[in-house]
Structure 1
Amino acid sequence: MSDKQTQSIVIKGIPASSGIVIGKAYVLDRHMICVLERPIDESQMENEIGRFKSAVEASQNEMSDLAESVKAELGTEAPFLIFDAYSQILKDPSLIKETERIIKEKLCNAEWALKMLLESYHSRFTKIKDTYFRERLNDIEQVVRRLQRHLIQEEAQSLANLEEPVIIVAHDLSPADTIQLDPKKVIGFATDMGGRTSHAGIIASSLDIPAVVGLKTLSLQVRSGDPVIIDGNTGEVVIFPTAGEFVEYNKKRQKYLYYDKSLHAEMGMEAKTLDDVTIKLMANIESSHDLAHVMENGAEGVGLYRTEYLYINRMHWPDEEEQLEDYKKVAQAVGPHGGVIRTLDLGGDKIAAGSNDFEPEPNPALGLRAIRFCLGRPDIFKTQLRAILRASAYGKLKIMYPLITTLEELIDANKILDCVKNELLEEGKAFDDAIEVGIMIETPSSVMIADELARHCSFFSIGTNDLIQYTLAIDRVNEKVAYLYQPLSPAILRMLSQTAKAGERAGIGVSVCGEMAGDPLYAMILIGFGSVRELSMDVHSIPRIKKFIRSITVKDARCLAEEALQMNSAEQIRALLTHHIDKFVMQEIGSGIEDDGS
């Protein structure tokens, strides 16, 4: 970057932690470790395996020390998800055995064996399109890099001794990096890698530090000392801001701080419309460790627990007792509000690192995944159902099946559930025999037979992310067709309306748990679909949606929904909503209507 830079550069990434900050960049230089192959003979093999085991032990001790530091610094268990993930990988027998196997078979040094192991993981994980699961490859990579550093005795650059407040810019941040972040010295950070569920974002939220991730090449465009603006609300990073941009973002920052204060003031209030209709706002979570943020942000329970986290960070399936302990935490934390546990949604483009159940597929989203996988592996399915049922004895839980496309799938899943219930009764183990069982509505086929499906379940939860993709036949992570991802498409709205009516006719609850639930523009029309009275979303979206709901009426929402259903284009519907929704309210909420490319 030139010292005479006069024009700013604006880069768009993924907002990971809200807030706006202006300051100097500090570029964290994490160069790739240079690992060379060193042949060994059989007499050196056991010594090399011993070196590897020592590196594992040293890394485990580091993780333990870091976890204790977090506990002392933050006083909350939320970030422990990070250390659990890393510790599970370090303790996984498959990782250890596979590394030892490579050392023995290839007669090579331990750091080279780890390099080969990482390459094999890359070949599997790079096929995964789901953001959350692709980020788990970063977990494995960070662990392998840590082991290699111990083996070659290389020290990493530290953030512990910063002399002034800075904005950290890096290719990626590991837990070892993030735990060193002192909020008095690190006022924000931006990374090339990562997504909404990245570990860096989790720590940033815990420390209340603005952060943007997924910026691709930012670290190559910035030097330490360069002035930078981080907008964690929109995902924008401005390098060398002009005087005008400085003033503009400073005003936005002051407005955000005022708005954030007003959100917290209403945190304990109900999400009740001006015409006295209560909308239940729940949280989507990836792990039981997210529970600390659920109540902090005013959620009324958990509307979607994606249990895949328990499977993806390891190379062997979690057993019943481990799952029971995890689901118990959810049951005990949500209290009377309740929690919805979605059964395993692995398969397709979501694969467990150590599983041999999945073969490469030409169309993974249409292949062996979710309930299809569970019905094909009843042993794994029954283990999870047993754990969920046993956890229901400790609090109000519900079970939800993903990707139901036929009536037969739902009936077969319920038969397995009944079988598990009978087993637990015979064993004398307690559970809630009246536990509610619902399904995800996320394909056109499930919408079309919603009336029949409703006779065999207790509730619907509409997964708008997959419903949009399956209905419009597009892959929204494919930049060439991303413009077709239209949540306000007439086809989508009619499917949402049809599902809501089917639920109303059957007298069962209908909720929405996709990304549409967390945006005020879409929430307005969802509430207009009669029976939708529950919205589940990213925990950090709850305060702004609650504030928005308290400013509208259901009567207006219904009128807008009815009018929108008569329109024939997403553009017309968007114009209708933006015209009728109070502009001041939308600006206050910050829904991003103007630049929403969906």
Structure 2
Amino acid sequence: MAGHVSILARARGVPMLTGVRLAAPPSDGTPAILDAEGGRLILDPAPATARDYAARLAARAARARAEAALLARPAATADGVTVKVYVNVDDPALLAGLDPAHCDGIGLTRTEFLFRDATLPDEETQFRAYAALVDWAGGRPVTIRTLDAGGDKPIPGLTPQAEANPFLGVRGLRLSLARPEVFGVQLRALARAAARGPLRVMVPMVSVPEEVARARRLMEEAVAALHRAGREARLPAFGMMVEVPAAALRVQDFAADFLSIGTNDLIQYTLAVARDAEGLAHLRDPLNAAVLELVERVARHGARAGIEVSVCGDMAGEADGIAALLAAGVRALSVPPARLGAVKARLATLTADGAETAPGLRAAP
């Protein structure tokens, strides 16, 4: 599942199962094994099963130690091709134990963490949060996504309350453009934080070029207004998420300084499978040929235009997904902090075209 709650759990390295159906609730104290990788909950396991899982945990711990040894090294494929590995941030507190030198910067900041309360955050609150990320990164790029509310991330008082299909409704940039009084506050805070270092802004849920053009104009107007008021501000690099097939198919029409492919939504919209539909998991395939063709199309455009194309969805942190993304021409990944070591280890087993060189070192999904 690629719903928002599962994304938050993955960012924290927390195993999670959904859709578990039990004939009867277990009694207190019943031993259980939660196998999030295999999608199983085993109640009162047999001794042999318990021993098997204990051995798996020991192997996982050994693998984690090997991955940790790679954290300080630049990410590269087995044949020496450098791959940028950024981190995704949905809660800045998760950066407290991470050395910024272990990544290439922040590839995605989900700003929804600022909008969790009923009261919308003011400009100063947002500025302090964004500036803290820039300061943490120490000169490395910090990519901040404007508010991506709606879909599975409703915000009371801001997102529509009764949409028939929220995933296809007023969400992401559509909502921001419909609420300029809210969007303007965020853009001003971002422009001010950009004066402190290499901050990049990207907009989500884009369908047509005019949406990006309008958002960019609003960003430019925010910077100009701050300068007129004598405030320090800078026009940041302005990019976009590629999540909608229409954007991937006509990516050359969009005036974006960089591109970030959100594979969770791209899979959802390409295959017409809701990301939180438990009964359709077999169709939600990141390796589907149609999905990979769209990713490759965007990567080729980036190479021709000389702009960075990164991938920030779950696929960027999965063993098979990493191989497929390399084969599609992707050279920048953005993953949860807990996956940094595993991703670097996986890259070291692959050539730049995604071919296996050391299957025995294949990272866990």
Q: Same fold (TM over 0.5)?
A: yes
> In structure 2, what is the equivalent of residue 447 of structure 1?
248
Q: Distance in 1 between matches of 2:34 and 2:248?
A: 41
Contact 1:230 1:236 in 2 (8 A): yes
Q: Find the counterpart in structure 2 of residue 370 from structure 1.
A: 172
Change in 2 beyond 3 A, CA 1:256/1:270 = same
CA RMSD of aligned residues (A): 2.6
Partner Cα distance (1:213, 1:467) in 2:
23
| 1:268–1:298 CA contact under 8 A, matched in 2 | yes
Instruction: Confirm whether residue 479 of structure 1 aligns to residue 283 of structure 2.
Output: no
Q: Write the distance in 1 (CA, Å) between the matches of 2:37 and 2:101.
A: 16
Who is 1:118 aligned against? none
SS for the counterpart of 2:8 is coil
Q: Aligned equivalents of 1:322 and 1:397: distance in 2?
A: 17
Instruction: Work out the CA distance in 2 between the residues paired with 1:448 and 1:211.
Output: 35
CA distance in 2 between partners of 1:356 and 1:517 (Å): 31
Contact 2:110/2:145, CA 8 A, preserved across alignment: yes
* Distance change >3 Å, CA 232–CA 473, structure 1 → 2: closer
Preserved CA contact (<8 Å) 1:283 1:294: no
Structure 1 residues 377, 332: closer, same or farther in 2, change over 3 A?
A: same
Q: Per-residue CA shift, 1:445-482, capped at 9, x if unaligned?
A: 101211111xx221010011111111111113223333
**2:93 corresponds to 1:305:** no
Residue in 2 that maps onto 1:347: 150
Output the CA distance in 1 between the equivalents of 2:30 and 2:271: 44
1:259 aligns with 2:58: no
Offset from partner CA, 1:160-214 (integer Å, 9 cap, x none) = xxxxxxxxxxxxxxxxxxxxxxxxxxxxxxxxxxx45269x95xx6xxxx75565
Give the TM-score normalised by structure 2: 0.91
- Cα drift, residue 582 of structure 1: 4.4
Q: CA deviation at 1:215?
A: 7.2
| 1:469 maps to amino acid | Q
Name 1:461's counterpart in structure 2.
260
Mapped pair 1:337 → 2:143:
no
* Equivalence for 1:546: 344
Deviation at 1:432, TM superposition (A): 2.9
Q: How many residues align structurally?
A: 365
Secondary structure in 2 aligned to 1:536?
Answer: strand
2:361 corresponds to which letter in structure 1?
V
Alpha carbons of structure 1 residues 360 and 512: separation in structure 2 relative to 1, 3 Å: same
Matches within 5 A, 1:171-250: 195=6, 197=8, 212=16, 214=18, 216=20, 221-231=25-35, 236-250=40-54
TM-score (norm 1): 0.57
Mapping for residues 106-185 of structure 1, pairs under 5 Å: 130-132=3-5
Deviations 1:547-595 (A, max 9, x none): 11122221x42xx6xxxxxxxxxxxxxxxxxxx5643122xx212xxxx
Once the two structures are TM-superposed, the CA of residue 232 in structure 1 deviates from its matched residue by 6.2
- What is the aligned partner in structure 2 of residue 534 from structure 1? 332
- 2:239 aligned residue: 438
Indicate the structure (1 or 2) with the bigger Cα radius of gyration. Answer: 1
- Paired with 2:243 and 2:159, the residues of 1 have a C-alpha distance of 24
- Cα separation, 2, equivalents of 1:457 and 1:393: 20
Contact kept, 8 Å, 1:297 with 1:542, in 2: the verdict is no
The 1:391–1:479 alpha-carbon spacing in structure 2 relative to 1, beyond 3 Å, is same
Judged with a 3 Å threshold, the aligned counterparts in structure 2 of structure 1 residues 487 and 196 are, in CA distance, closer, same or farther, namely closer
Q: SS of the residue aligned with 1:457? A: coil
Please tell me the residue identity of whatever aligns with 2:136: A
How much identity, in percent, do the aligned residues show?
32
Compared with structure 1, are the counterparts of its residues 366 and 376 closer, same or farther at alpha carbon in structure 2 (3 Å cutoff)?
Answer: same
Gaps of 5+ in 1: 1-13, 15-128, 133-194, 561-579, 592-598
What is the correspondence of 1:496-507 to structure 2 with a 5 Å cutoff? Answer: 496-507=295-306
Match among 124, 137, 146 for residue 321 of structure 1: 124
- AA paired with 2:118? M
Which residue identity lines up with residue 585 of structure 1 in the other structure?
L
Contact 1:348–1:361 (8 Å) recurs in 2: no
SS in 2 for 1:437: strand
- The answer to whether the Cα contact below 8 Å between 1:212 and 1:236 also exists between their aligned partners in 2 is no
Equivalent of residue 309 in structure 2, options 500, 503, 510: 510
Change (3 A) 1:490 1:232: closer
Q: Which residue number corresponds to residue 583 of structure 1?
A: 359
Tell me the CA shift for residue 227 of structure 1. 3.3
2: CA distance between counterparts of 1:130 and 1:550?
29
Decide which moves more: 491-500 or 220-229. 220-229
Unaligned runs of 5+ in 2: none
Contact 1:272 1:550 in 2 (8 A): yes
Matched, 1:379 2:181: yes
Output one character per residue of 1:205-229: Cα deviation in whole Å (capped at 9) or x when no partner: 6xxxx75565756796433443333
Q: For the Cα contact (< 8 Å) 1:304–1:341, is it kept in 2?
A: yes
